[in-house]
Structure 1
Amino acid sequence: MKSVKTLASACCLAVAATACSTSGGGAPPSSGQVLTLAAAGQGPAEAAVKAFEKANPGVTVKTTFTEDDASYQQQLRTQLASGTAPDVFRMWPGGGNTMAVRDLGADGMLMDLSGESWAGGLSADLKAVTSDPAGKVTAVPVTIGAIGAIWNDQALAKSGLSKPATWPEVLAFCKAAKGKDVVPFALGLKSAWVTQLVPYALTASLVYGPNPGFTQQQKDGKATFANSEWKQAMNKYLEMRDAGCFNDSPNGVGYDEQMQLLGQGKALGAVHVVSAVQSALNSAPQGTTFSMSPFPATDSADGTYLPVSVGIVYGVNAKAKNPALAKKFMEFLASPEGQALYATESGSSPALSSPSFKADALQQPVLDAVKAGKSTLYPDQGWPNPKVQQEHLTSIQELFNGTVDVPTLLGRMDKAFGEGK
């Protein structure tokens, strides 16, 4: 889920309609001091690269940054298959897409990092999403992200409305915001990855919080999407649409426009990953602040869970040209300094211990939910293959177009899930 930025090679991967940038020009030093790296999300990755270079005089990191998740995944997969991939690249934790840890690990594309000093200190939860199917640690966790209601504080204060804490309050909030001629929640379904965020927020409270073993029950043939509270979650997604909770024509609105609506205060909030605030700030008036609250799905505030998960991970190409320097970069990312830097730059919380990191109004609710036992993992990290998420994303766009219904959508997801068990 989420955006990426950093690829390594002398020239930028050419993909139509995808913005790329490269850094580290000029005559390179000896090959032993050059590291190639790929990612999406230029700001955080670039900040980490600059800090690493500063701490290691003589080292040059050649980077490529790609802004679109789908293009990035396709590009890296192609490069890995052809032997032209960079030494280090950003991935997704767990499973669920073709650039996720388990999927790449199963194909033998990642270096075993189990022997690194930082790997020995990973918790069981972190190891679960940073290890390949054989149980070898192949990724360093960098950030923890969450999906909640992101608020434009100034726009919300101007509206005179309060953050909803229960499902009935959500519907009342939407009605009141519409009456004030402001969008309650910005939604940009044209960017396929955004389609999953509201369902993940709803199912945290309706499915995975009450029943943490749901995905395993699916794998055991004892549960399905169609015959679970996933149906209620998807119906509530449509209920929000029909109640005017979103901007007009969300299928025609992309992520950038969605964040503009939020940043400019034309929308009071958005159900999104916390790190999306970095994009909203680009179009926000000076002095605009943002906060986050868990998004409710039940009649009781006590029943609200927050989807929290490792957001960004990095791995090393199994065929890296400079494996020693790649491992050194992994060590930097795992350090308290690297963790605090990347988390701060990406608007996330650090995945590993980082005493210098200071939580703000966006991050503190994430840490509070984890401490209170009111957090769940993102569902796709436990899904057995990338097809489930692909079906989910595509079908939601069709659902909002009115070309499929909820039973059809969930039936497609069940079929895709069954193909990977």
Structure 2
Amino acid sequence: MKSIKTFTSMCCLTVTAVALSACSTAGPGATGADTAGAASQVLTLAAAGQGPAKAAVEAFEKANPGVTVQTTFTEDDASYQQQIRTQLSSGTAPDVFRMWPGGGNTMAVRDLGADGMLLDLSGESWAGGLSPDLRAVTSDPNGKIVAVPVTIGAIGAVWNDQALRKSGLSTPTTWPQVLAFCKAAKEKNVIAFALGLKSSWVTQLVPYALTASLVYGPNPGFAQQQKDGTASFATSPWKQALEQYLQMRDAGCFNDSPNGVGYDEQMQMLAQGKALGVVHVLSAVASALTYAPQGTTFSMTPFPATDNADATYLPVSVGIVYGVNAKAKNPALAKKFMQFLASPEGQALYATASGSSPALNSPSFQADALQQPVLEAVKSGRSTLYPDQAWPNPKVQQEHLTSIQELFNGTIDVPTVLARMDKAFASTK
């Protein structure tokens, strides 16, 4: 698998700004062609996560008087993925929807593209300027661009700055310090890291953070070696990563009963200072802010997995992408929305609202305490892709998510989890 060392040039990519022309709207009593014109002013959109998408929609409507964007938001990723997949199959899906970059789940670009569910966007002005890295995660199996990259995300230790300061503890930079931090937090009757495994997609985040330093940083070609049959989850440091996950559980790093806690409750614990931090995608901060007292701030540090702070890698990847339904009722307006998302203004707006960095050039974007470590990791060559983006099918991620929940319940062990993942990786169906 390829490291994301070229993201520095990616972030500096020049994307042509697209002027958003104003549109007219049909007046009262309009019929015939006027009614058709009014219909052409309506766009339907769905996204997992309301805040950033809502901000983008409002800005798009403001720039295009007369346009109405009808939205559907689902906060849980798993429910969202199932919902949109079902709608695509039944012909009731919206014109535009959020997807996941690369492959690895049923709502990822390659998987939807392989099923012919996405509109070809290769001819759009912004598509021609995509770097090879961006093309790799926004193209279908035939090489057609079918998604616009919106944000660059990362998985790290996200901190409630006020709660951390009150605790008097320092953020850990090595694995032994992680365990010492958890012990010290427990002595102060505060949770070190909130964990909400009831929302199955959260189960993968700690392993992704750990394997960045244990697997994919030291060996960027690991995923390709798996495909070549010369490597496996079971015989790799993935075993160490999952054992360390359990070590954190047993050391009291997390809240009680993580399998009974959902994402929203996890974010509430972080926001309200009941937990000092979470190991999470940075975009989760947008959710935490909705529960946080006024003045609460958040920051991020890479999550360590070894005894050497200089050997810590940060999982960094294109986070959010949007695509157009191949059977969109309003493809012209959908493409116009894609142009807005690709523009410097759209990129800065979405990145700021989601607590991420823009995937394309956006001179007005200002990195904060959450984003600066991401840019530093990329610049220093200490970043990796998310593992699932190189996995050959959605079954690997699905197996990983459900197996981690079972692992925390104590019904299976680490070798069983890895054996299941290896079987899913080898599956061609």
Structure 1 and Structure 2 fold alike (TM over 0.5): yes
5 Å-filtered alignment, 1:329-348, equals 329-348=337-356
Q: Which runs of 4+ in 1 moved over 2 A?
A: none
Deviation at 1:62, TM superposition (A): 1.6
Aligned to 2:230: 222
5 Å-filtered alignment, 1:40-79, equals 40-79=48-87
Deviation at 1:285, TM superposition (A): 1.8
Report the AA paired with residue 228 of structure 2.
Answer: D
Aligned to 1:316: 324
Q: 1:400 aligns with which of 405, 408, 411?
A: 408
Aligned to 1:161: 169
Aligned to 2:5: none
Q: 1:256 aligns with which of 264, 271, 295?
A: 264
Deviation at 1:329, TM superposition (A): 0.7
Aligned to 1:244: 252
Deviation at 1:420, TM superposition (A): 3.3
Q: Does 1:388 align with 2:396?
A: yes
Paired with 1:203 and 1:345, the residues of 2 have a C-alpha distance of: 28
Q: 1:185 aligns with which of 183, 193, 213?
A: 193
Aligned to 1:8: none
Q: Does 1:354 align with 2:362?
A: yes
Q: Does 1:206 align with 2:214?
A: yes
Instruction: Give the TM-score, by structure 2 length.
Output: 0.90
Paired with 2:274 and 2:79, the residues of 1 have a C-alpha distance of: 30
The alignment partner of 2:40 has SS state of helix
Deviation at 1:193, TM superposition (A): 0.6
Aligned to 1:21: none
Contact 2:155 2:282 (8 Å CA) reproduced: yes
Deviation at 1:55, TM superposition (A): 1.2
Q: Does 1:93 align with 2:65?
A: no
Paired with 1:190 and 1:83, the residues of 2 have a C-alpha distance of: 31
Aligned to 2:43: 35
Identity %: 85
Deviation at 1:282, TM superposition (A): 2.0
Paired with 2:224 and 2:290, the residues of 1 have a C-alpha distance of: 41
Deviation at 1:169, TM superposition (A): 0.7
Can you list the C-alpha shifts for 1:323-358, whole angstroms capped at 9, x where unaligned? 111111101100000000011111111110000001
Q: Does 1:133 align with 2:141?
A: yes
Aligned to 1:142: 150
The alignment partner of 1:234 has SS state of helix
Can you list the C-alpha shifts for 1:89-132, whole angstroms capped at 9, x where unaligned? 11111111111100000000111111111111111111111000
Unaligned runs of 5+ in 2: 1-27, 29-34
Deviation at 1:283, TM superposition (A): 2.1
Q: 2:123 aligns with which of 115, 118, 131?
A: 115
Can you list the C-alpha shifts for 1:239-287, whole angstroms capped at 9, x where unaligned? 1111111111111111111111111111111101111111222222221
Paired with 1:411 and 1:137, the residues of 2 have a C-alpha distance of: 35
Paired with 1:301 and 1:363, the residues of 2 have a C-alpha distance of: 19
Paired with 1:150 and 1:66, the residues of 2 have a C-alpha distance of: 23
Paired with 2:57 and 2:296, the residues of 1 have a C-alpha distance of: 29
Paired with 2:218 and 2:199, the residues of 1 have a C-alpha distance of: 30
Deviation at 1:84, TM superposition (A): 1.6
Aligned to 1:374: 382
Paired with 2:428 and 2:173, the residues of 1 have a C-alpha distance of: 37
What is the Cα-based RMSD across aligned positions, in Å?
1.4
Contact 2:76 2:199 (8 Å CA) reproduced: no
Paired with 1:268 and 1:99, the residues of 2 have a C-alpha distance of: 32
Can you list the C-alpha shifts for 1:355-376, whole angstroms capped at 9, x where unaligned? 0001110111111111111111
Aligned to 1:418: 426
Aligned residues: 396
The alignment partner of 1:125 has SS state of helix
Which range moved further: 57-66 or 152-161? 57-66
The alignment partner of 1:30 has SS state of helix
The alignment partner of 1:151 has SS state of strand
Can you list the C-alpha shifts for 1:150-171, whole angstroms capped at 9, x where unaligned? 0111111111110000011111
Aligned to 2:312: 304
Which range moved further: 101-110 or 278-287? 278-287
Report the AA paired with residue 272 of structure 2.
Answer: Q
Deviation at 1:76, TM superposition (A): 1.0
Can you list the C-alpha shifts for 1:40-69, whole angstroms capped at 9, x where unaligned? 211111111111111112222121112221
Contact 2:104 2:397 (8 Å CA) reproduced: yes
Higher RCO (C-alpha 8 Å, min separation 6): 2
Aligned to 1:170: 178
Paired with 2:368 and 2:330, the residues of 1 have a C-alpha distance of: 38
Paired with 1:279 and 1:82, the residues of 2 have a C-alpha distance of: 31
The alignment partner of 2:276 has SS state of strand
Report the AA paired with residue 245 of structure 2.
Answer: Y
Paired with 1:267 and 1:74, the residues of 2 have a C-alpha distance of: 31
Paired with 1:118 and 1:160, the residues of 2 have a C-alpha distance of: 47
Instruction: Give the TM-score, by structure 1 length.
Output: 0.92
Paired with 1:385 and 1:193, the residues of 2 have a C-alpha distance of: 16
